[in-house]
């Protein structure tokens, strides 16, 4: 299915999953959904359509930061360095060396 449709789908794998979820009951039985921010949080300045919506933006201890679009008027390097330093600070307790 993916090989047949991937050129028509704008979001490729996301559209493939959506199609499988909506058409295949065995897929629905085996998939769980998480809040988007937990695994794909946006940094401040991203996603201008949802600026005031806290469900999309990074909070401490979120798993992954979505850096897509950082090259459009944002400081990619500075953002990465900020989150790298924050990660080191938050994960310091388990390091013994």
Say if residues 46 and 74 touch (Cβ distance below 8 Å): yes
Please give the pLDDT value at position 48: 67
Structural domain spans, the chain: 2-94
Condensed to tens digits (0 to 9), the pLDDT of residues 7-40 reads: 676 767 777 888 888 898 998 888 888 877 778 8
Separation of CA 94 from chain center: 25
Please give the pLDDT value at position 26: 92
* Higher-pLDDT residue of 4, 61: 61
Condensed to tens digits (0 to 9), the pLDDT of residues 48-90 reads: 666 667 777 777 777 787 787 777 788 888 888 988 888 888 7
């Amino acid at each position: 299915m993916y090989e047949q449709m991937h050129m028509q789908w704008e979001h490729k794998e996301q559209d493939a999953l959506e199609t499988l979820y909506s058409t295949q009951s065995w897929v629905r039985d085996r998939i769980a959904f998480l809040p988007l921010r937990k695994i794909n949080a946006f940094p401040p300045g991203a996603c201008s359509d949802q600026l005031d919506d806290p469900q999309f933006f990074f909070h401490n201890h979120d798993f992954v930061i979505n850096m897509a679009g950082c090259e459009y008027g944002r400081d990619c390097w500075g953002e990465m360095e900020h989150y790298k330093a924050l990660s080191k600070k938050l994960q310091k307790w388990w390091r013994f060396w």
